[in-house]
Amino acid sequence: MHIIKAPCKINISLDITSKREDGYHLIESLFHTVNLYDIISIEKSDKYSIHTNGMFALKDDEEDNIVTKVFNYFKNEMGLIDNYNINIEKNIPTGAGLGGGSSDAANIIKFFLSELNIDINDSLIESFSRFGADIPFFIRGSLAWVSGIGEKIKNYNFILPYNIILIYPNIHVSTKLAYSKFVKDDFNKSDIFAIKNMLDNGEGFNKDINFNDIVSNTYNIFEKNVFNLDKRIEDIKLHAENIIKRKVSMSGSGSSLFALYENNDKKIDDDFNKLKSEMNYNIYKLSLI
């Protein structure tokens, strides 16, 4: 049996530049993987099956399960012969803007490629965007600037040495619905490339990258739409900011919220305990990886 840890991600910044005629939105975003994991168990079997368990278990019989689509593609198009029993311990919330489903699919793709002795390259990675826009990022993970519909990826050779407090407010947000609320005038409202320019100029992560400059440029275009869809998420964000006295941002299309801390900032422990005592949600103290 093979055991795989599939991490989630946060969007440190996220903006949309335009919408294509086919309905896809073009993004510019800084992605970073985080050490909250789904645990995937894979073993060969007489027939294919997939099951989930854990705090955020899914309905296993859904035909549009992304992992099943990936398996069928490898079976029909990539020459995969064996069948597998796949179990996923779902520790990453769904409808949370954390990319748990895409991470599961990406890590299973890497497993099947290894089984077939197929080397991973940029063109192959980009091709898997057919199953989900975030999948190409998760195949390599870590720190990356992501653009296009998610298939264009600039990976950095360092990680940001930050910790985070992550809040999942037990609210499921439909990404499709959140995207549907955008109008043309919503786009390009941030200094889109401010953080990217800092990272590009600080390749190798030198001391020129200032934590406060990163935090001050965090931005998520989805916040306005998602807060209009469910005002509770905005209220939770404002309440958390009032408790910990620092900026709280939303990840992806929500509903998860996060605050960044430098890795030597001991205040994270006090803030974590305050949030746990005052908010009845899933709250995690995590690291960027």
Contact at 8 Å (CB) between 34 and 9?
Answer: yes
100 is in an annotated binding site: yes
Is 127 annotated among the ligand-binding residues?
no
Q: Are strands 152-155 and 162-168 parallel, antiparallel or unpaired?
A: unpaired
Is 79 annotated to bind a ligand? Reply is no
Sign of the torsion angle spanned by Cα atoms 17, 225, 153, 287: positive
Query: Is 191 annotated as catalytic?
Result: no
**Does 52 belong to an annotated binding site?**
no
Q: Is 98 annotated as a binding residue?
A: yes
Annotated binding-site residue? 240: no
Q: What is the bridge-based pairing of β-strands 2-19 and 219-220? A: parallel
Residue 258's nearest CA partner among 34, 16, 15, 20 is: 34
* Helix (H) or strand (E) run with residue 240 in it: helix 231-244
Any known ligand binding at 132?
no
Spell out the residues 6+ positions from residue 269 whose beta carbon is closer than 8 angstroms to its own: 285
Burial code (b: 16+ CB inside 10 Å, e: under 16) for 4-34 equals bebbbbbbbbbbbeebeeeeebbbbbbbbbb
| Structural contact between residues 92 and 103, judged by C-beta atoms closer than 8 angstroms | yes
150 marked ligand binding residue: no
- Which one of 9, 90, 110, 196 is the catalytic residue? 9
- Asked whether residue 93 is marked as a ligand-binding residue, the answer is yes
Active site annotation includes 265: no
Catalytic residue among 38, 104, 134, 271: 134
94 is in an annotated binding site: yes
Residue 138 near residue 5, CB atoms below 8 Å: no
The annotation status of 202 as a binding-site residue, yes or no, is no
Annotated binding site: 93-103
Annotated binding site for ATP: 93-103
| Residues taking part in catalysis | 9, 134
